[in-house]
Amino acid sequence: MGKHDMFMTDVLIIGAGLAGERAAIESARGGLNVILLSLVPPRRSHSSAAQGGMQAALGNTVMGKEDNPYVHFIDTVKGSDWGCEQDVARLFAETAPIVMREMACWGVPWTRVTTEPRIYDGKEINEEAEKVGLISARNFGGTAKWRTCYTADGTGHTVLYTMDSMVMKYGISVHDRVEALSLIHDGETCYGAIVRCLRTGKLRIYTAKSTVIATGGYGRLYGASTNAVINEGSGMSIVLDTGVVPLGNMEAVQFHPTGIVPSWILITEGARGDGGYLLDKNRYRFMPDYEPDKKELASRDVVSRRMMQHIRAGYGVDSLYGSHLWLDIRHLGAKHINTNLREIANICRQFNGIDPVHELIPVRPTQHYSMGGIRTNIHGQAYGLKNLYALGEAACWDLHGFNRLGGNSLAETVAAGKLIGARIAEFTKDVASNVSFSVVEEHLYIQQTKIDRLCSGKSGTENVYELCNKMQDVLSHHVGIFRTEGPLQEAVSMLRELHERSLYIGLRSAEGGANPELGLALRLPGMIRLALCITKGALKRQESRGSHFREDFPKRDDVNWLKRTLAYWPKDAKEPVLRYEPVKITELPPGDRGYGEANARSKSALK
């Protein structure tokens, strides 16, 4: 242990995106010593890529008039297809407007209300004069009111930069370019993490009274994902590896309707929110036929399914990269596109050579978000292990259930950061630091042995990149938008085989240190375990709910399946063990969402 750098702190936060940083600020304000760990410099976190906005019921705009947290709550529950924890959703909806104003106070240049008239869906919208200068909002999918606060097209970017500026203001230590390899725990309590420095490849020990996972999602398990390349679910997998903490609802994977073909970069929901259309190969606007009420702006799961349904019906545009559809924003005009949608205009121009002012954008539903994650209670405390917390996309706080509304994830990171951060500050004060060194030694030894074995060249002959690509293929083809028993069954057995093989990876470069191949070799088995949790969860859940759509069980089944999957991975197991817990319904009993398959031809009555 002597040759390893060791850090002791009150709160160790793994992941310096929005959720991690917000929790760090709250903990630091509570008088605690905080260290933030990050794979990359904090401002490069994937939070920065969220272009669209954050939902909060401020009700400043005409189209958001009479909005309030209760309406936001209802939208969220419907969006989740009644899979969310209602007390969490309620708490979140009430906190969102506060954090939005707090971020304004800290420096986010939110787009403000102006009296300049806007044309939306053929109608002219004029804001009220007395609201000028307050935080504006745009329309997003699955919401009754216009509620999504934004800064032009760089919401995630500006909010993250502002958040990081506060991290600097409070002098919180950030250790970037490090990766947590495992949690230090004794099966009851968590004491910190074993961490690999990505500059030097050396292991470090971080011990903490409270450990917080805020590492984001696992998009990169899928080949085609809008996520950043660092989103490999490593936070979830080190938690799963403890054997005692479950991952919740891993089968709930969101596919965003508009990933650009073929680089799968996200085209923000703002494009449709601001009035963009989806067209098929005949340039026909097909969404109103499926969703007469919400059209392009039904919730993401519904729009994605409708798009795939339409492609399957033969209306897709053929291309080298498979069939796709068109997104049309030409009618919004050059000025609007070049200011409010500038980032996506740039993406079209630079990555596809398309000018969206005059041309159509090729899009297809693409993996985007993981509703599932480390299961926590409403205070952010992980199940099964004391002094371990999780929040943001990495967690299953369960705000999103089986489908997340656009603009709710960014808002969740900040709201949860504030709420859970305060809880962490409160609970950590009562924790005595009494980590036993033998526990630390044990975990350090396991990781060091793994690395030494890989670097010795005697660990096996499997090619790490090949295995990784295979895993991505299995998930993309068998565990996508439409799921059925047969392919899922097949996926489980293929993933089991891949998992077995991943334990015998042979590096082509025996180089230790900051070798990227070694890094992936260390992560991959954990990634495949996550893939197995997703696939097995999907296989067992014999109903369709939110983004989880089983063709062999196309209806929601509230009698048998109004419950949450909890996936455990006991030590040395070959596949996850699934348990279930009931979903908490406090206010809104299961009902009709007002869009989606159950409501295909009926106008929404619930609006």
Partner 1 sequence: MILQCSYQKGEDNMQLQKMMTYNLRTDFITEIIQMVSGLLLFLFLWVHMLFVSSIWRGAGAFNVLANFMDRWGLLPFTIMFLIIVFALHIGTVLRRMPSQYLEHKVVWKHAKLIHHADTWSWVFQSITGTAIIILAMIHIAIVSFAGINAHLSALRVQSREFLIFYIVLLLLSEYHASVGLYRVFAKWGFVNRHSMKRILNFISLFMIFIGAITLGILYTLGA
Partner 2 sequence: MEESGMTLFVVLNKIREEQDPTLRFDFVCRASICGSCGILVNGRPTLACRTLTKDLPDLTTLLPLPVFKLLGDLSIDTGIWFREMSIHTESWVHNDEKFDLTAQEERMDNEIALMIYEAERCIECGCCIGGCMMTNLKPNFIGAAGINRVARFMMDPRDKRSNQKYFEVIGNKEGVFGCIGLLACDDNCPVAVPLRGQITYVRRKMASVGWKMK
Backbone φ, ψ for residue 39 (5° rounding): -65, -35
Question: Residue 284 binds what, of partner 2, partner 1, none (CB under 5 to 8 Å, by partner type)?
Answer: none
CB atoms within 10 A of CB 383: 20
Instruction: Please identify, among the stretches 82-90, 168-176, 490-498, 523-531, the one whose residues bind partner 1 according to the rule CB under 8 A.
Output: 168-176
Nearer to partner 2, 411 or 444 (CB): 411
Of 36, 49, 193, 419, the one binding partner 2 (CB under 8 A) is 49
DSSP code per residue over 275-319: T-EEE-TT--B-HHHH-TTTGGGS-HHHHHHHHHHHIIIIISBP-
Residue 22 binds to partner 2 (criterion: CB under 8 A)? no
- Is 272 known to be catalytic? yes
- Is 256 known to be catalytic? yes
For CA atoms 375, 158, 89, 544, give the dihedral sign: negative
Of 109, 117, 288, 591, the one binding partner 2 (CB under 8 A) is 109
Query: Is residue 462 helix, strand or coil?
Result: strand
Which conformational region is residue 245 in: left (phi greater than 0), alpha (psi within -120 to 50 degrees), or beta? beta
Residue 171 binds to partner 1 (criterion: CB under 8 A)? yes
CA 102 to chain centre: 23
Give exposure, 528-562, as e/b (b: 16+ Cβ within 10 Å): bbbbbbbbbbbbebebbbbbbbbeebeebebeebb
Nearer to partner 1, 5 or 500 (CB): 5
- The single-letter code of the amino acid at 199 is R
Site string for partner 2, 515-534 (x = CB under 8 A): xxx-----------------
Instruction: Please identify, among the stretches 128-136, 144-152, 169-177, 343-351, the one whose residues bind partner 1 according to the rule CB under 8 A.
Output: 169-177
Give the angle subtended at the CA of 217 by the CAs of 487 and 238, to the nearest 5°: 90
Residue 44 binds to partner 2 (criterion: CB under 8 A)? yes
Give the angle subtended at the CA of 48 by the CAs of 46 and 51, to the nearest 5°: 110
Rounded distance, CA 388 to CA 383, Å? 8
Instruction: Please identify, among the stretches 13-21, 72-80, 171-179, 307-315, the one whose residues bind partner 1 according to the rule CB under 8 A.
Output: 171-179
CB 311 within 8 A of CB 157: no
Residue 339 binds to partner 2 (criterion: CB under 8 A)? yes
Q: Which of 38, 472, 445 has the alpha carbon at shortest distance from 212? A: 38
Q: Which of 579, 23, 527, 544 has the alpha carbon at shortest distance from 233? A: 527
Of 87, 94, 102, 176, the one binding partner 1 (CB under 8 A) is 176
CB 167 within 8 A of CB 23: no
Q: Which of residues 180-219 bind partner 1 (CB under 8 A)?
A: 197, 199
- Which residues contact residue 449 at a Cβ distance below 8 angstroms, ignoring those fewer than 6 apart? none
Active-site residue, selected from the candidate residues 256, 368, 404, 593: 256
Rounded distance, CA 152 to CA 542, Å? 42
Residue 511 binds to partner 2 (criterion: CB under 8 A)? yes
Nearer to partner 1, 175 or 584 (CB): 175
User: What 8-state DSSP symbol labels residue 266?
Assistant: B
Residues contacting partner 1: total by CB under 8 A: 9
Q: Tell me the residue length of the chain.
A: 607
370 forms beta bridges with 253
Instruction: Please identify, among the stretches 7-15, 155-163, 308-316, 585-593, the one whose residues bind partner 2 according to the rule CB under 8 A.
Output: 155-163
Of 144, 173, 262, 355, the one binding partner 2 (CB under 8 A) is 262
Residue 351 CB, nearest approach to partner 2 (Å): 6
CA distance from start to end of the chain: 61
Report strand pairing: 123-125 vs 118-120.
antiparallel
Residue 173 binds to partner 1 (criterion: CB under 8 A)? yes
Question: Residue 154 binds what, of partner 2, partner 1, none (CB under 5 to 8 Å, by partner type)?
Answer: partner 2
Nearer to partner 2, 228 or 532 (CB): 228
Active-site residue, selected from the candidate residues 72, 90, 272, 564: 272
Residue 357 CB, nearest approach to partner 2 (Å): 16
Nearer to partner 1, 206 or 369 (CB): 206
* DSSP H or E run through 597: none
Site string for partner 2, 270-309 (x = CB under 8 A): ----------------------------------------
Nearer to partner 2, 41 or 486 (CB): 41
Q: State the Cα torsion 528-530-533-534 to the nearest 10°.
A: -100
The residues binding partner 1 (CB under 8 A) are 5, 168, 171, 173-176, 197, 199
The residues binding partner 2 (CB under 8 A) are 40-46, 48-49, 98, 100-102, 104-107, 109-114, 132-136, 151-152, 154, 157-158, 161-162, 165-166, 168-169, 174, 176-177, 199, 228-230, 262-263, 265-266, 320, 339, 343, 346-347, 350-353, 465, 507-509, 511, 514-517
Active site residues: 256, 272
